[in-house]
Amino acid sequence: MKRVLVLAPVLLLLSGCSNNWGWYVVDPTTTSGWNNLKFMASGAFYTIGMSVTAIMISVVVGLLVAMPGLSEKRGWRMFNRTYVEIVRSVPVLVLILWVYYGLPALSGITLSVFWAGVLALALSDSAFQAEIFRAGIQSISKGQYEAAQSISLNYRDTMRYVILPQAIRRILPALGNQLVYMLKMSSLVSVIGMQELTRKANELVVSEYRPLEIYTILVLEYLVLILIVSAGVRWLERRMKASDT
Amino acid sequence: MSIISMRNVSKFFGDFQALKDVSLDVALGERVVICGPSGSGKSTLIRCINRLEAHERGEIIVDGTTLTDKPDDLEKIRGMVGMVFQQFNLFPHLTVMENLCLGPRRVLGLSEQEARARAMKHLERVQIPDQAEKFPRQLSGGQQQRVAIARSLCMEPRIMLFDEPTSALDPEMIAEVLEVMTELASSGMTMIVVTHEMGFARRVADRMVFMDKGEIVEVGAPEDVFVAPQSKRFGTFIKQILNH
């Protein structure tokens, strides 16, 4: 029932309520339509590749940035605040352009489009990851630290075996959100020429002049990807819960 | 020869002085019960012994090592001192067995097999060997607290601190925890217990310490202090506890 509700508006659009539709452009029963569809779907590889690589980097960087934020020392906390405030105030699109066009001029390092995209996405997301981790770690009760201290665990082991495993269970929904966000943000990397889903759609629009149909397919492509991610995160949540009930 | 020696220890929380020049010696194998009204500083006192709280003035010496922030000394002292908390503080994401093995594996460097054998030994001691593979939330409060005691024992401490170990338990579960503690006491473990369980204190304690407003008001053998408390404050407190 829920699924019907979600898809109803889409179906309404597709039902031909306007006679301007020209679905032939993506009709899988014709050769050209089928080829067009294949062309569009071929961007998924980069959309997924960039998003997954970027999220892995941003989780690690986010955790590294979150840790000083929990320190009792003011200097460490200042580092955390400064990083988070600066990085999250830069629009993703601006960061992508800056990394791709600005970084080579500044440092002499030229990155491929893929890695420039990954770097910008990861950097941007890492500030949010840092805040998510900080909140997750802070939500673990003081008693857990004290119990770990009372059996002489050092800071590293306390984090690794006691605090983080509990924090990650709590922040899993938020991490899932970030992955969804990342998949969508990766569309912006099309502006520097990355051949991902959005870029492919744009190119097809230029040659076929059917933006309505092509962008609708593009919307569906993102929808499918994100529904898969959501299901995956939910499965993981259930599994982690099941392992300690 | 005292294994714990506290000399003029003071502890502040902001402007509030939780401990005021407290001095206390505990001998090896001695069982000390600390009681007093809430906010009297009794929990703070034992939390200073393994430095969950850092004292600001005075000196605490545990088995010849002076308690400071020096990591080596701190590690040495925490290795000697086990602690049981009011809220159990078990690790909820780990099974009972994993809770018990974590310290021995990571801190003492035992092999998986050695750690499990040791954990099983102590689970038998607290009479719940059959719960080894369960998660803490599947156990009753009394069972959880016994797991917490076993977790401490797995580190083979010479001193055990108990911070109101039965205060969070339903009445019917208090007895099973006290039973384990009594057995531990009879095995010769040095114990400092903060509790309001006066029956337990009478049976087990070598010495009673009564605290009020951050000070030790009275110290004495339980058979003496219960019959004839020296200070008016302790007298009133005992009356309140026994009559409630």
pLDDT tens figures, B15-38: 999 999 999 999 999 999 999 998
Q: Is residue A24 part of a domain?
A: no
Q: Is residue A13 part of a domain?
A: no
Q: Is residue A8 part of a domain?
A: no
Q: How many helices (H) and strands (E) does chain A have?
A: 12, 0
* Contacts of A3 by beta carbon, 8 Å cutoff, 6+ apart: none
Q: Is residue A22 part of a domain?
A: no
Q: What is the mean pLDDT of chain A?
A: 90
Task: Report the C-alpha gap between B85 and A37 in whole angstroms.
Answer: 63
Residue B46, amino acid: I
Interface probe for B, chosen from A73, A139, A146, A151 (most Cβ of B below 10 Å), is A151
Alpha-carbon distance A143 to nearest alpha carbon in chain B (angstroms): 6
Q: Is residue A12 part of a domain?
A: no
Does ipTM top 0.90? yes
CB B17 within 8 Å of CB B57: no
Task: Report the C-alpha gap between B24 and A21 in whole angstroms.
Answer: 88
Q: Is residue A123 part of a domain?
A: yes
Q: Is residue A65 part of a domain?
A: yes
Average pLDDT over residues A178-184: 94
Interface probe for B, chosen from A73, A149, A152 (most Cβ of B below 10 Å), is A152
Write down the pTM of the prediction. 0.84
* Contacts of B74 by beta carbon, 8 Å cutoff, 6+ apart: B51, B67, B68
| CATH of residue A94 | 1.10.3720.10
Q: What total number of domains does chain A contain? A: 1
Q: Is residue A182 part of a domain?
A: yes
Q: Max CA-CA distance within chain A?
A: 73
Contacts of B103 in chain A (CB under 8 A): 151-153
Per-residue pLDDT at B226: 84
Question: Is pLDDT of A151 > 80?
Answer: yes
8 Å CB contact of B89 and A169? no
Which residue of chain B is at minimal alpha-carbon distance from A154?
B107
Residue-range definition of the domain harbouring residue A191? 45-196+232-244
Over residues A17-73, the pLDDT tens digits come to 555 778 888 888 899 989 999 999 999 999 999 999 999 999 999 999 999 998 889
Question: Is pLDDT of A108 > 90?
Answer: no
Instruction: Burial-class residue A5 by CB neighbours within 10 Å (0-12, 13-18, 19+).
Output: exposed
